[in-house]
């Protein structure tokens, strides 16, 4: 490998690690919010947790999950 190739590989590795850290931080933030909502249900029973496809929209196809929810209700 040339010096330029090593430099590009290191920069690529840094970008991947940064993206992974941002993704993890995003999921941690969502999880903290869900935990807070769950705890608030103790004090106010009207508080509800959102369905999983609303909590993590980037992981689930919204229409597909809604169809599954409808099938469970029927």
| Tens-digit pLDDT string for the chain (74 aa) | 899 999 999 999 999 999 999 999 999 999 999 999 999 988 888 888 888 888 888 787 767 666 776 777 66
Kindly list the distances between the CA atom of residue 49 and the CA atoms of 8, 9, 19, 53, in Å, as whole numbers in the listed order: 44, 43, 28, 11
Check: pTM over 0.85? Answer yes or no: no
Q: How far is CA 54 from the centre of its chain?
A: 10
pLDDT at 19 (0 to 100):
95
Separation between Cα atoms, residue 52 and residue 43, nearest integer Å: 22
pLDDT at 29 (0 to 100):
94
């Amino acid at each position: 490998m040339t010096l330029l190739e090593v430099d590009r590989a290191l920069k690529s590795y840094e970008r991947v690690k940064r993206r992974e850290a941002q993704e993890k931080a995003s999921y941690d933030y969502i999880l903290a919010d869900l935990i807070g909502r769950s705890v608030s249900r103790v004090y106010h029973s009207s508080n509800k947790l959102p369905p999983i496809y609303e909590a993590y929209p980037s992981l689930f196809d919204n229409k597909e999950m809604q169809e599954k929810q409808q099938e469970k209700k029927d």
